[in-house]
Amino acid sequence: TYEHNVDLHHLFIDFRQAYDSIIRSQLYEDLKRLGIPKKLIRLVTMTLKSTTCRVKVMGSLAESFPVVTGLRQGDPLATTLFNFAMESILRNIRTNPGGTIYSRLTQHLAYADDVDIMARTVPALSGAVEEFENAALVRGLRMNEGKTVYMKTSRNPPPPQSSFCIGQHSFPVCNQFKYLGALVTNNNDVATEIRARINAGSRCFWAVQKALKFRGLSRRAKLVIYKTVIRPVVTYGSESWVLTTASERLLNCWERKILRKIFGPVCEDGRWRVRNNEELRRLYM
């Protein structure tokens, strides 16, 4: 959208007590519509039947009480069941089904309970949010107005505003938002995300620096640690980056700094010096 100079409206949705609000009877109906075998549905029903909770107050447990909604916290099956509920919500949406934002007015991105509704216009966003909210309410999910945020991405960032209204809801406005671990900014500045990834990679490096400084560990082993532990932190989400020369220089500079820590200095004529870029390239390649 940045290359085509298209403004984009995002609503990053957060649910209020998502796992505790699922309506179980509706979940069973969704499982049927999704083609889950009846035997598995009966087994799921058994795991959620006659569930109770007890509250611990001042070290003492209160009397147990029945729980008729929501999924069991800590149950490995809970995340899968929640994903089925979200899948049913998205399949019930009829606004611009299929395609991407490049060929449609709206697009829904969803991973577990992290949802981003994108639209090219405010009316399209309002319609998509209303349809999504209605489908979610049927399953017991309600948007958390305080944590659901709106952001407009554009080449020319809009004037600052504190809130954005859709229907009866008023959502806070942000200039950047971390979605699925990647930083999205209102001006589509990839450099901001790259700097954030480099900072995260540096923190990861300092966490394992004792291993990298240990003389009993070979350079090959240290490079394996770098390639499998440190570098993936920086390159997370890099498939979607549009790199500039400055961004490439920033990434290369960070990598050379880490490699100099791994390979150490070199001694020439009784004097120590840091390795130059060509020496690092030969050792690393």
CA separation for the pair 192, 130 (Å, rounded): 32
pLDDT exceeds cutoff 70 at 97: no
pLDDT at residue 131, as a whole number = 93
SS3 sequence of 54-89: CCEECCEECCCEEECCCCCCCCHHHHHHHHHHHHHH
**197 contact partners, CB below 8 Å, separation of at least 6:** 233, 234, 235, 236, 237, 238
Span 19-36, average pLDDT: 94
Q: Choose from 36-45, 88-97, 166-175 the range with maximum mean pLDDT.
A: 36-45
Span 204-216, average pLDDT: 90
pLDDT at residue 280, as a whole number = 85
- Predicted confidence band of residue 213 (pLDDT cuts 50, 70, 90): confident
- Please tell me whether residue 206 adopts helix, strand or coil conformation: helix
13-26 pLDDT, tens per residue?
Answer: 999 999 999 999 99
Domain residue ranges of the chain, discontinuous segments joined by +: 8-57+64-185, 190-284
In CATH, what class is 8-57+64-185?
alpha beta
Span 231-255, average pLDDT: 92
Burial (0-12, 13-18, 19+ Cβ within 10 Å), 72? middle
As a whole number, the mean pLDDT across the chain is 90
Instruction: At 271, list the tokens.
Output: 């004097």
